[in-house]
Chain A
Amino acid sequence: GDSVTQMEGPVTLSEEAFLTINCTYTATGYPSLFWYVQYPGEGLQLLLKATKADDKGSNKGFEATYRKETTSFHLEKGSVQVSDSAVYFCALTDLNSGGSNYKLTFGKGTLLTVNP
């Protein structure tokens, strides 16, 4: 079945450092790709998404590009802040399968801690 592999954490960075969290996927269809973020004590919320190859999703300074040739969707941010400390999840779903019986498949999550 479909699967998502994320780099193992935890990741600890200093404020203003560059962030990369690697994500690769395996899918039988043509999935849409997502990054979700979970702040402490909260539920997951969508950070960004891309629905087709070469699309770049971006939000709050984070970016990720859908690379079909390498089946990857790496998350990057040029300058992290303390407020970015959270768990980041890469996910995929196949929107092209139609109907309403789709689901999101998540990676295991990467804990990011940003120190002042």
Chain B
Amino acid sequence: DSGVTQTPKHLITATGQRVTLRCSPRSGDLSVYWYQQSLDQGLQFLIQYYNGEERAKGNILERFSAQQFPDLHSELNLSSLELGDSALYFCASSPWGGTTYTGELFFGEGSRLTVL
């Protein structure tokens, strides 16, 4: 158990709909990352938040947005869903960096989204 909790584990919805994925990081971790895993694209970095602020952006579509709340949990919002958005969405967390930082990310078990 990594200590990172993601909900829901599975989600089935229709094209055009909007969903919200939730992530609770490990206790004490300030950074949250979102990744999308699909068969053809592999693991794609979407976005990173640190202590409530967006810090890095990857291949995140404009239809997608995220935020990190004061209690450090994060939500990934996916709107106007398309068939191609079907994927496994992972959240990962890490502690604050600096000289003691190991570079390790701690991953949740993922939220599997199926768009029909």
Contact = CB atoms under 8 A, between A and B. Distances in A.
A109 B109 contact: no
B103 A100 contact: no
A106 B103 contact: no
Interface string B13-43: 0000000000000000011010100000011
Interface residues of A, number: 25
A55 to B, nearest CB: 12
B11 interface: no
Contacts of B108: 43
B53 to A, nearest CB: 9
A103 interface: yes
B103 A93 contact: yes
A34 to B, nearest CB: 7
Given A99-B97, A100-B50, A100-B96, A49 B107 contact: no
A89 interface: yes
Contacts of B48: 101, 103
12 contacts: A43-B4, A43-B108, A43-B109, A46-B104, A46-B105, A49-B103, A89-B43, A100-B31, A101-B48, A102-B56, A104-B45, A106-B43
Q: Which 8 A-B pairs have the closest CB atoms?
A: A43-B107, A108-B42, A101-B55, A106-B43, A44-B107, A100-B50, A101-B56, A43-B109
